[in-house]
Amino acid sequence: MITETVNCLPTVEIETRPCPTHTIVWLHGLGADGNDFVPIANELELLLPETSIRFVFPHAPERAVSMNNGYIMRAWYDIYHADFNNRQDESGIRDSQKAIDVLIEREIQRGIPSKHILLAGFSQGGAMALQAGLRQTNPLAGIIALSCYLPLPETLTTETSAANASTQIFMAHGIYDVVIPLAHAVASREKLLTANYPLEWHEYPMAHSVCEQEIVDISRWLGRISGCHI
């Protein structure tokens, strides 16, 4: 099912049972769309009989991406350089953060407590999960950040939300990733740990992708995090 409301990104939605009690908002990577991670709804082994989950897979806006010769594609923000530490698209990042905030607020208005909402993403989507999740004023159940890095790290200390200061983070990366080298993710991990975020870290023998063991580990993590009851 594809839904779209005023001032809200278009999304693909899947509900595992009627009357959802939890929501997972899953953000795709550069050049993909919300359909990219739809299979994850069936791959995660996390459902208890009494639990109903709404998976929300939004489509990022279409925009020109400088690093790809200005080609227009779905992207949460522009990318100027392969070196992600060199000039970031702050305005694009913040615009997408606001759009994600709207999705979270919509879920709250639909009756899902914020502590039952998880924000997840892969690659550029994972970067946005960290950006939006750590600044979200409503307490979330957790953040899943896959094959990504922390955008705008220099503003984290001043902009972080007290509501999510103890929000659980699952962060994972492939050791053979050449799109976002492991070193970028490790530096982001250290920044988050220094800020005292509870973070579970995993590395896998893969490139810029998702592997079967990663899905198993995410399922286990989701089963453990406080307040999710999955």
pLDDT of 124 higher than 80: yes
pLDDT for 153 equals 93
Bridge partners for 143 per DSSP = 119, 169
Q: What pairing do the DSSP bridges indicate for beta strands 11-15 and 2-3? A: antiparallel
Which residues participate in catalysis according to the annotation?
123, 177, 208
What's the pLDDT band for 83 if we cut at 50, 70, 90? confident
Average pLDDT of the chain is 91
Cβ distance 10 to 109 under 8 Å?
Answer: no
DSSP characters over 125-149: HHHHHHHHHHH-SSPPSEEEEES--
Whether the CA torsion 201, 192, 183, 59 is positive or negative: it is positive
Share of the chain above pLDDT 90, in %: 83
pTM of this prediction exceeds 0.85: yes
Q: In which residue are the tokens 């870290």 written?
A: 201
Identify the pLDDT of residue 8. 87
What's the pLDDT score for residue 2?
A: 43
* Residues 14-57 pLDDT 10s: 998 899 999 999 999 999 999 999 999 989 876 555 678 999 99
Residues 155-204 have pLDDT tens digits of 999 999 999 999 999 999 999 999 999 999 999 999 999 999 999 999 99
Q: Quote the CA–CA distance of 26 and 96 in Å, as a whole number.
A: 14
